[in-house]
Amino acid sequence: MLGAGSWGTTFGKVLADGGAHVTMWSRRPEQAEEIRQAHRNTQYLPGINLPRQMTATSHLADALEGADQIYLSVPSQALRENLAAVRPLVAASDAPIVSLMKGVEKATGMRMSQVIEEGLQCDPARIAVASGPNLALEIAREQPTAAVISSTSQATAEAVALRARNRYFRTFVNTDVIGTEFGGVLKNLIAVAIGIVDGVGYGENTKASIITRGLVEMTDFAVAQGAHPETLQGLAGLGDLIATCQSPLSRNNTAGRLLGQGVTLPDVIKQMQQTAEGLASVAPVLQLAREVGVEMPIVEQVKMVLDGTMDPRDIAPHLTTDDDKPTGERTQNGQAGGRGALWRSIQRALDQFRDGGRRPSGD
């Protein structure tokens, strides 16, 4: 397990409680020492006892030696530089590489599995991603929950799912990596919006409206990128959205709440002990949305608040069209008339077919 923050340590506990022997890698020797000797990680999981099957080291080579499965839980914007150190150490390995991260690379707009594939130059069939309604502290307290493991290889997804399960943690599988990853990314952006309106003092009607319309934006975006719409109705989409938006344990919700209370973005970042991935993902997600012609008005408003060009009190879920013409509430990918994300995906495929496959294909 590369990364010993709250989620990495919690997932290490999940694996150990399922019978695996887990080696945590921490950049800080003192943190590795505490996990190894005291079986605690007091900075990130106060009050939680870690299993005896968990050990830790600050030496990357020691952590990776002989690993059957490799899990990555580092900040998304630091993934590429970490992979540069990992690559020579796993060159001879065929172990599955599992991403626990929920973000997109700011410089490239790439999903984490894409960064892993490029950074390690490995077969994408070796890569899996884990997602779902997974608030770390609740799971560390062994409260029952579920997650989904996704890989383009059904065999890889199943191998990881068999390891990542125990009496309180259940895993399902799918092969829709795009939908699973974007579900985990996009719900963070909606959670920031929920935090903002919570900080402003708006009530449950506003929050319910934003969650519902936010799921529409998530689905339209993901389908336009090649995801299956049903994935966004599952654990990686709706499930994660509900958990992240309604819980004070959510870092993205907390960041949004501080913004809604008038704290500036630089000060929010200073106050956060851990990374709120949604803050870094807003701009690249909106760029990707523009490229495929998907409107994301709630996420646009979040960006305006982050940029300081919108008063948090003005954020509103009803700003979903450019005019006052009444519109249906179904997702774009479910609407008739050729305007939906699904139709655009089909149209691009038809255009490529007519061009004899000369256009570059997406995922």
List C-alpha distances in Å: 85 to 2, 7, 16, 275, 312.
11, 21, 25, 21, 41
Alpha helices in the chain (DSSP H): 6-17, 29-38, 60-64, 79-90, 112-120, 136-140, 154-163, 177-200, 204-224, 229-232, 240-246, 251-260, 265-271, 277-292, 297-307, 341-354
Nearest Cα neighbor of 99 from 176, 199, 1, 206 is: 1
Nearest Cα neighbor of 104 from 129, 122, 136, 137 is: 129
The residue to which tokens 């594939």 are assigned: 117
The residue to which tokens 């344990």 are assigned: 249
Annotated catalytic residue, options 187, 270, 303, 325: 187
Per the structure block, which two tokens stand in for 176? 């829709």
Q: Would residue 270 show up in a list of annotated catalytic residues for this protein?
A: no
Per the structure block, which two tokens stand in for 158? 């199943």
DSSP state of 331: -
Distant-in-sequence, close-in-space partners of 29: CB < 8 Å, separation ≥ 6: 58
Nearest Cα neighbor of 272 from 258, 284, 285, 260 is: 258
> Distance (Å, rounded) from C-alpha 198 to C-alpha 2?
34
Given a contact cutoff of 8 angstroms between Cβ atoms, the answer to whether 205 and 309 are in contact is no
Given a contact cutoff of 8 angstroms between Cβ atoms, the answer to whether 333 and 219 are in contact is yes
If 0-12 CB within 10 Å is exposed, 13-18 middle and 19+ buried, where does residue 257 land? buried
Catalytic residues: 187
